[in-house]
Amino acid sequence: MAANGYVVAAFYIAIIAAIYYYRDVFEFEGIVALYKTKWGLRLMDRVANASPGLVRAFSLTGIAAGYLIMVLMVWLVWFSVQNLIYRPEAPAAFTPILPGVDIPGSPISFPLIEPLIAIFIVVVIHEFAHGVVARRYDIDVNSSGFVLFGPIPGAFVEPDEDQLEDASQETSQGLFGAGPWSNILFAVPIFFIVAGGIAATDAAYHGEGATINRLVTDNETGRLDGLRAGDTITGVNNTTVNTRLDLIQALQNRSVNETVMVTTRNDSHTARLGESPSGGDNGFLGVSVETAYAPTNTTAASWITPVQSAYFWVMGDFRGYVTTPWIWPAVNVFSPGFNGQTGLLAWIFIVSTGIAGANLLPIGPLDGGRMLYKSLRGVFSETTAARISSAITWTLLIVVLALVFVPMIRPFI
């Protein structure tokens, strides 16, 4: 588990117990618990009526963007299937978001708190956008409220399905595309805020090494040979380590069981790299680290230093990524040893784009599936459209489930 295992287990047990205790106020659909309210409905009306033309432009661009992203997602599925066949050691391309739990075979290690906050914010925006577009086209929203997918929190709106069934292509397609499109638009300023925070960090501080904040390994996955929490790594073999990113790059493309010389401020150690819990060929040092920052004499440092812990919790520790963006595709900043400084805003960005992309897969009840079915209804009879949509849904669903679960079970085979 990415967070303390007992804390994570206690959290999920408490959520399940609370749902059971208050079960009379929920409506259940399998493991999904719905708490229906009228919250936000008046605000949806006000936003829809404040600028109908702007809302229509938003929904129309959402249709175009939705189909473009849908094509990209289908291509990603196809590319991932080829990877699964020809590079079975590659990490999973699709992974469920389960805060606090390390998913076997996943390249991402999830902390507990930040992804929970991100999921709730992103889903509220997603569902609110659906509601605003529904009201712009005079489709009633019967209810809104909170939803729990098992223990994972979210939100929902409930448009009138009979009215939606009779709606025009523009209306229904715009409503379906509104949620994912709102997530994409929300992710854009988040990206620039994080980029600004990174630039401020670069201006305010210089790195003096990578401090180990916790060990994330045991004798089976790595050989630490004297390294301990609190040590600051300043070099690997002949490579100087000034930042967390430097350590990631120094360990990149090194093999399992390879021995490296790790230099700290006070000593040198040999470490034999082990297997990463998330799979792949790269050797794993078995530590979680953060950059050891020393203030530079600038105005920026005087602003950040008093709230440094909160600042990095929100902005993350991405020093070096602004000046060396070409290394982004080659470096997994979410791996178990390095995700501790990802930052709340970065998690919001990841969850926002991830939920948008996943929802635009042309699979049955997802937004993408409903958009595709509505388009097919404009060309074929209801029966033919349903058959084509069902065939696409089941084919993609089986493939995506394989992409999720095969990497998860592979470490145990």
pLDDT confidence tier of residue 385, bands split at 50, 70 and 90: very high
- Same domain assignment for residues 302 and 397: no
CA pair distance 405, 408, nearest whole angstrom = 5
| Domain shared by 310 and 378, yes or no | no
CATH of the domain at 236: 2.30.42.10
- pLDDT top residue among 81 and 96: 81
CA–CA distance, 219 with 72 (Å, rounded to integer): 42
Residue ending a domain, choose from 301, 334, 367: 334
**Can you tell me the distance from the alpha carbon of 408 to that of 395, in angstroms, rounded to the nearest whole number?**
20
Q: Please check whether residue 340 lies inside any domain of the structure.
A: no
Output the CA angle 118-124-129, nearest 5 degrees: 130
Q: Are strands 32-37 and 27-29 parallel, antiparallel or unpaired?
A: antiparallel
Matching residue, tokens 């399940």: 16
In a domain, 199, yes or no: no
Separation between Cα atoms, residue 61 and residue 53, nearest integer Å: 12
- Which helix (H) or strand (E) segment holds residue 236: the answer is strand 232-236
Within-domain flag for 76: yes
Q: Final residue of a domain: which of 306, 334, 362?
A: 334
Which residues contact residue 241 at a Cβ distance below 8 angstroms, ignoring those fewer than 6 apart?
A: 209, 210, 233, 234, 235, 247, 250, 263
Same domain for 71 and 190, yes or no, is yes
Cα Rg of the chain, angstroms? 24
Token duo for residue 184: 């994409």
First to last CA, the chain: 20
Higher confidence at residue 6 or residue 377? 377
Whether residues 226 and 296 share a domain: the answer is: yes
89 found inside a domain: yes
Residues counted in the chain = 413
Whether 367 and 329 share a structural domain: no
Rounded to an integer, what distance in angstroms lies between the CA atom of residue 404 and that of residue 390? 21
Cα angle 43-47-49, degrees, rounded to a multiple of 5: 115
Contact 276, 282 (CB under 8 A): yes
Indicate whether 278 belongs to any domain. yes
Residues 143, 83 share a domain: yes
Q: Are strands 152-159 and 205-215 parallel, antiparallel or unpaired?
A: unpaired
Q: What is the pLDDT of residues 2-50, one digit of tens each?
A: 456 778 888 888 888 888 888 888 888 777 788 888 889 999 999 999 9
Instruction: With a cut of 90, say whether residue 178 has pLDDT above it.
Output: yes
Flag whether pLDDT at 389 surpasses 50: yes
- Hey, is 288 helix, strand or coil? strand
Of 334, 365, 388, the last residue of a domain is: 334
Domain that holds residue 309: 205-334
Type of residue at 167: A
Q: What are the C-alpha distances in Å from 321 to residues 195, 198, 284?
A: 9, 8, 21
- Please indicate, yes or no, whether residues 272 and 364 belong to a single structural domain of this protein: no
Distance of CA 48 to the CA centre of its chain: 29
136 and 161 co-located in one domain? yes
Give strand pairing partners of 141. 159
Question: Is beta strand 141-149 parallel, antiparallel or unpaired with respect to 152-159?
Answer: antiparallel
Q: What is the number of alpha carbons within 13 Å of residue 32 lying toward its C-beta?
A: 9
Residue 184's Cβ-side half-sphere holds a number of Cα atoms within 13 Å equal to 19
Does residue 86 belong to any structural domain of this protein? Answer: yes
Q: Is the pLDDT of residue 386 over 70?
A: yes
Give the whole-angstrom CA distance, residue 405 versus residue 92.
9
17 and 115, same domain (yes or no): yes
Report whether 271 contacts 277 (CB < 8 A): no
CA atoms within 13 A on the CB side of 138: 3
Residue pair 231/212 in contact by the 8 Å Cβ criterion = yes
Indicate whether 190 and 61 sit together in one domain. yes
Q: What mean pLDDT comes out for the span 193-211?
A: 85
Does any domain span residue 339?
Answer: no
Write the pLDDT tens digit of every residue in 87-140.
776 767 788 888 888 777 776 777 888 889 999 999 999 999 999 999 999 999
Question: How far apart are the C-alpha atoms of 372 and 128, rounded to whole Å?
Answer: 22
In a domain, 300, yes or no: yes
Q: What is the pTM of this model?
A: 0.83
Contacts (Cβ under 8 Å, ≥6 apart) of 375: 169, 173
Total number of domains in the chain: 2
Task: Clarify whether residues 156 and 256 are in a common domain.
Answer: no
- Residue 336 corresponds to which tokens in the numbers above? 């178990």
| 67 and 172 both lie in a single domain | yes
pLDDT for res 281: 61
Mean pLDDT of 324-335: 52
